[in-house]
Amino acid sequence: MNDASDIFTFASEDGLLAYRDTGAGRPLVLLHGGYLDHTMWDDQVPVLARHHRVIAPDARGHGASANASRPFRQTDDLAALLRHLGVGPAVLAGVSMGATIAVDTALVHPDLVRALVISGGGTSAPELHDPWARDVQAAQARALAAGDIEGWIDGSALWAAGPHRTLDDIDPAVVRRLREMARRTITKHTAAEPDHHRPVPDTATRAKEITVPVLAVNGALDTPDLAAIAERIATTVPDGRITTIEGAAHMPTMEQPDAYNRILEDFLRTVYAEER
């Protein structure tokens, strides 16, 4: 459960950005997926904060963070927050959009990154070839164009099911949390609002520049297009590892939190053991 006493705001150059900050020790930054917020990590924060300082921001335009009024890059927002807190280098763990922010930061602000843990993505504008993924993406676009917010939220939740299941196969509490997060974020925006986000270019080809350890942790039931992005990055870097969590698709942190937490804690121990 989220503790309001751990929630803070940072005055960026373009509005307030919210983040959760708790625990003590080496810094660990948890980066949420698109149209979600820091509460997707509620099953991780209490466990990981026992031995680490855990920072879980709401990306700009998500959760409690301000919308953009001018062009921005998510990696620059994260870098500004970490420098404001005097934190780094930190381990960055991200899912989907959060994985992309983590990879971008390793490329653009390498001094702030000790290692990466990425799930279900890691580069901007992924190419989708899986017919299921293309159908879900198209259905969401149609719903948004029609002003059907609930239809868009329905489509957003489907990514957690993946191509091999339906939402009925997922814990209803997980589906409810996903829908609540998506609703909080999508209703912050209007159809006429410009997209000010500017992606970092060529991250797929530049991934070989990443020198820190990278762990790809994918759900076994995720669409292969998204899982493959994280795996390609892990196989491109000098120190990359790949593991899979059974019984989960695009949100292994929420569907199988105990398994994800064990994998992440084992990786953290390995990363810091190398410093001795």
Q: By C-alpha distance, which of 73, 128, 65, 134 is closest to 103?
A: 73
Q: Where are the domains of the chain?
A: 4-127+194-273
One of 3.40.50.360, 3.40.50.720, 3.40.50.2300, 3.40.50.1820 is the CATH number of 4-127+194-273, namely: 3.40.50.1820
The answer to whether 21 and 54 have CB atoms below 8 angstroms apart is yes
- Look at residue 200 in the predicted model and tell me its pLDDT: 94
Q: Which amino acid is it at 120?
A: G
Query: Cα separation of 38 and 256, whole Å?
Result: 17
| Residues 39-82: tens digit of each pLDDT | 999 999 999 999 999 999 999 999 999 999 999 999 999 999 99
Q: What is the dihedral of CA 191, 250, 259, 228, to 10 degrees?
A: -130
What does the alpha-carbon distance between residue 226 and residue 134 come to, in Å, rounded to a whole number? Answer: 12
Which of 131, 142, 135, 155 minimizes the C-alpha distance to 225? 131
Which pTM does this prediction carry?
0.96
Q: Indicate the residue type of 54.
A: V
| Residue 23: φ, ψ to 5° | 85, 175
Give per-residue pLDDT as tens, 81-110.
999 999 989 999 999 999 999 999 999 999
User: What is the residue-level pLDDT of the chain in tens, covering all 276 positions?
Assistant: 566 678 999 999 999 999 999 999 999 999 999 999 999 999 999 999 999 999 999 999 999 999 999 999 999 999 999 999 999 899 999 999 999 999 999 999 999 999 999 999 999 877 889 999 999 999 999 999 999 999 999 999 999 999 999 999 999 999 999 999 999 999 999 878 888 999 999 999 999 999 999 999 999 999 999 999 999 999 999 999 999 999 999 999 999 999 999 999 999 999 998 776
Eight-state DSSP code of residue 51? T
Task: Give the CA distances from residue 106 to residues 7, 14, 23, 100, in Å, rounded to whole numbers and listed in that order.
Answer: 25, 23, 24, 10
Strand ranges, E, within the chain: 7-12, 15-22, 26-31, 52-57, 90-95, 113-119, 214-219, 240-245
pLDDT value of residue 156:
95
